[in-house]
Structure 1
Amino acid sequence: MMNLEGKVALVTGGNGGIGLAMASALADAGATLAIVGRSPDKNAAAVAALARPGAPEPVAIVGDMTDEESVAETLAEVVRRFGGLDILLNNAGSNDRKLPQDYSLAEWNRLISSNLTSAFLVSQAAYPLMVARGGGKIVNIGSLMSVFGSPKSAPYAAAKGGVVQLTKSLATAWAGDNIQVNALLPGWIDTDMTVMAREQVSDLNERVLSRTPAGRWGRPEDLAGAALFLCSGASDFVTGIGLPVDGGYSCSA
């Protein structure tokens, strides 16, 4: 049920961190991979890591998923290389931690665009390609900030909350087209982004460890199994959910 041979998958933000870990899981399951990232060097390294014997060579695209023209060019390149699209994993995003009163409007708009608008634009562009294939899978990456507040992540939390509602709306709109749309809500995962968070919030490490029943930070590969489930036929009757992958953080007092 989790065999993805013959499926074409696009992972935005797929050249590092949880994006690369999830892309690797899809490659292991047989998917043909395209990734999007802004760094050519990181893209090249990711392509090498995603290559599998006997499988089509992965493709890496430099693109800006907040720009409608760049999104259209990216999807066109995927179709040119692989003939269509079956799976979309919207992982592109960024954060900048400040108190609410310290953000400029430009910073607010940038973070909303990076984390929410990008998911909408790529999903919208992917829709007709999936309809042409008879269905598809879209997995959006939310966050625990989709459901919890944070004093230093107001625009990021607002955007990630929006990702959950976008997921539900797309799921209801496109269910009749056999497109399942779900979200993953990562907890505190040890990535470059959260290394920066620990530098900016002095007691963050201790607070995360004390609240997480699993007793550790997550690792990027902890997202792999959940991503594979939601991208595969095993989840054909699952749509519109937000699945926490957080070591129990969200159910702990």
Structure 2
Amino acid sequence: MEHRIETTAKLGRIPEEIRTKHKGFSEWNSVSSQCDHQTILQVLIDRRNSNAVDIDGSALPTLVYLSREKGPNHHHNFKAGAMNALIRVSSKISHGKIILNVDCDMYSNNSESVRDALCFFMDEQKGHVIAFVQFPQSFDNIPKNDIYSSFMTTTYAVDFHGMDGYGGPLYIGTGCFHRRETLCGRRYSENYKFEYKGSVVNQVQESASEVERTGKILADCAFEKGTQWGKEMGLKYGCPAEDVITGL
């Protein structure tokens, strides 16, 4: 996999031998513009498939490729629109209660970050008031003098701590675990109790091809028309800093 990733990065495109193996990639052949195309959705790895295992024989998680529909007559709402489409489509595939949002150029340097986040969500006394758990960003190859303030020391060490008395820090757009229900507009009370009863992957009855067919509708340009998506549901629209206003 490392070799495939490095090769793709050097070429600046998906190699032909890989494109031909996945119809999701081949669908781009008929696309005239990245800003005007149909929804492209493919289940690359279906966890229910007995052959979906790694070299040690352990089951691989479901992996889905999605590129939502875009058209010149519909505002795509940038990252917020992409996230909302992913939230809806994933609800048909796993409907996981916790959603992790990580930018494509970032990774976790803590193998226990998932467990740490769940500890907050499942806390019996304070868990019901927590909508998201996020980890501060850390950047590589920053000059010693940090003339562009890439360490964001003021934000992480001062501002965020100062916001604790006002409902907590803002959502910073990446490295963040969200409650799916929170993003979908649910309001919580003190009687709410978070329960994680294992994966719901096996409860999905539709085949991978059927999931692809029905899931595309959820990523169509017109799906959100007349709904609360971008207002009371999902990430909010109307601002370039969608993460900030969503966190508020």
Bigger helix fraction:
1
Bigger strand fraction:
1
Question: What is the TM-score normalised by the length of structure 1?
Answer: 0.27
Which one scores higher on RCO, CA 8 angstroms, separation ≥ 6?
Answer: 2
Q: Return the index of the structure with the highest Cα Rg.
A: 2
